[in-house]
Chain A
Amino acid sequence: MDKKQSDHDMNLRGTLVSVFFVGIVIVAMWVAVYLMYVAR
């Protein structure tokens, strides 16, 4: 039970920022190719 409690309070701010970096790569690459598609 103690462990579960500590899970809740875990400081994962770095993780949140890191995954959003991944998210930005995904969105940026997708938008770039979408614009190429539209331009063709």
Chain B
Amino acid sequence: MHFHKYEKIWLSFGIVSLIVFLSVVGVSAFSQNHTPSGGMDTIDPEKVNETAPFDNPGVTQLDEDTYQVAIVALAFGYNAPDLRVPVGKEIIFKVTSTDVVHSFTIDDTKVNMMVVPGRITTKSYTFEEPGKYLILCNEYCGTGHHMMSTEIEVY
């Protein structure tokens, strides 16, 4: 098997680029906590409303600098009353579904979470700008999928 000299140059460049890409995302993810949303917690999808923290959905202050937001996604909306959070504080979103798969996606942020029944998706995010952010579902969930949205206010 024979590689032309230029093909060796090209493949070396390509492979080095790929290694650089992987290193950048890998280091940023694992050393600066920029992993995508996820989590290994489970929940009974039929008992969501009796299970903490979803028995009391909405914003809870955990400590000085940390807030938790529990949200229940369902066709076709979010059970998440009074979504108001402060700017510059760590917000931990915890989302689950009582029916089908949804998403919890906050426009113009890194918060883009798949919501799977039986699972709790977690994502930590800190808002830098105050304002009213659109929240929408971007995973097809039925006839009303394109109506499924709400809003979060950052103050």
Residues of A in contact with B (beta carbons under 8 Å apart): 4, 7-8, 10, 12-13, 15-16, 19-20, 23, 26-27, 30, 34, 37, 40
Contact = CB atoms under 8 A, between A and B. Distances in A.
B9 interface: yes
B144 to A, nearest CB: 28
B30 interface: no
A15 B6 contact: yes
A37 B110 contact: yes
A23 B6 CA distance: 14
B108 A10 contact: no
A22 to B, nearest CB: 9
**Interface SS majority for chain A:** helix
Nearest to B6: A16
B17 A10 contact: no
A7, A8, A10, A40 interface centre (most CB from chain B within 10 Å): A40
**Interface SS majority for chain B:** helix
Contact of A12 (B2, B4, B108): B4
A38 B17 CA distance: 19
Given A15-B6, A20-B13, 7 more contacts: A8-B4, A16-B9, A16-B10, A26-B17, A30-B21, A40-B109, A40-B110
A34 B24 contact: yes
A40 B110 CA distance: 6
Nearest to A23: B13
Nearest to A16: B6
26 contacts: A4-B2, A7-B4, A8-B4, A10-B4, A12-B4, A12-B6, A13-B6, A15-B6, A16-B6, A16-B9, A16-B10, A19-B6, A19-B10, A20-B10, A20-B13, A23-B10, A23-B13, A23-B14, A23-B17, A26-B17, A27-B17, A30-B21, A34-B24, A40-B108, A40-B109, A40-B110
